[in-house]
Amino acid sequence: MNGKNLTLIEVFGFKVKVNITWIFIAVLLAWALAQGYFPTVYEGLTPIAYWGMGIIAMLGLFTSIVLHELAHSVVARAFGMEIKSITLWLLGGVAEMTDEPPHPTAEFLMAVAGPIMSVALALLFFTVAALFSTGGDVTPIGAILHYLGTLNLILAAFNMAPAFPLDGGRVVRAALWAWKGDYFWATSMATRMGSIFGLVLIALGIVAALTGAGLGGLWWVIIGIFIRSAADASQFRLQAVHALKGRTVKDYMTRNPIVVPPEITIADLIDNWIYKHSFEFFPVVEDSKLIGSVSLREVRQVPPDRRTSTRIGDIMLPRSPENTIQAGATAADAFTKMQGTGNSLLLVTSDGNLIGVIALKDIMKLIAITSELGRA
């Protein structure tokens, strides 16, 4: 989801981002509420009034999801886990954790904080809705509040499904982890349950769609596919961390990479470096100091007729924490950094000097070999 997230606001130091899919869903949701839901539950208003209700309800749901994720994030931070940002997407939010929970209790409390917040919000909305209802008649505000109360209950219930990485799956993992004291096994079991739960949803969705539920059934299929792929990604990440355990960047890097000076032109780089060595990534070094890197990605962005006049120094990616890593860092750190930044190659430094390059494909090969060997 890199590159498709826009930062909306910052709350308590957490960046709240929105995935572009959410903008599409937001419009669709406001439309469905304005055209379908509200005209049915509350008759006799103008289309503009229904659109107003639809948009307010959509924003209310959006705020509810942010509060759910903030509850997770605040508890996570209290236990020392770093939360990079909160991203809202298709069906809810994802708090991006960079660390794993330190112990089962932390995981349990962090997991239940979100659903507890949603239930609390539901109670709040229902209470205020009761205050707004005049002698049993529903008001437009009452209809919106009732909708938000119901949606928050659904959000809490859905998230408590025992399917990792949903909140309920995290509760299951915390329980299994506390029971056997084996984090690896607990995660493996919880993600497997997540994968099965996803499959069940897909199957139910298809059955529902075929027996007349139409679009409603399709919705379950989409959710099922998401949960399955999220569970499988968690399982892969776990295997990766397991495979990379105890290994450092130094073990997997290519030493003494071929470097280029910043003053050569792109044409020169293509003829005398890229074709000659058949590499696609070169550290840029000036006066034996590492200043950046250049790859095919940067070269491609310059039109062919300007390649004889453009210097490498003008198009290189300057050295930054995103594209460098210490030689002593763990291979798992390098893997996490590559996933987080989208850079499949990192410059390896020791005491600030370039000593090598580490590639995602080398790390992936190691993960594949380790999981092949681990299979009975």
Instruction: Provide CB contacts within 8 A for 188, sequence distance 6+.
Output: 235, 238
Q: Could you say which of 43, 69, 298, 372 is catalytic?
A: 69
Residues 86-125 as x/- pattern, contact with Zn ion by CB under 5 A: ----------------------------x-----------
Tell me the helices (H) and strands (E) count for the chain, helix number first: 15, 11
DSSP letter assigned to residue 282: E
Looking at the Cβ atoms of 159 and 234, the one nearer to Zn ion is: 159
CB nearer to Zn ion: give 149 or 168. Answer: 168
CB closer to Zn ion, 1 vs 207: 1
Site for Zn ion in 136-165 (CB under 5 A): 159
Burial 312-327 (b: 16+ CB within 10 A, else e): bbebbbebeeebbbbb
The angle formed by the CA atoms of residues 167, 171 and 176, to the nearest 5 degrees, is 145
96 vs 167 by CB, closer to Zn ion: 167
> Shortest approach of Zn ion to residue 114 CB, angstroms?
3
Q: For residues 326 and 352, what is the distance between their CA atoms, to the nearest angstrom?
A: 8
Least gap, CB of 167 to Zn ion (angstroms)? 4
Q: How far is the CB of 200 from Zn ion (least distance, A)?
A: 20
Contacts of 103 (CB under 8 A, 6+ apart): none
> Letter for the amino acid at 227?
I
Instruction: Give me the residue whose beta carbon is nearest to Zn ion.
Output: 114
Site size toward Zn ion (CB under 5 A) is 3
CA 252 to chain centre: 27
Please confirm, yes or no, whether 100 is among the known catalytic residues.
no
φ and ψ at 312, to 5 degrees? -60, -40
Of 62, 149, 167, 193, the one binding Zn ion (CB under 5 A) is 167
Minimum CB–partner distance for residue 340 and Zn ion (Å): 21
Positions annotated as catalytic residues are 69
Q: Where do contacts with Zn ion occur on this chain (CB under 5 A)?
A: 114, 159, 167
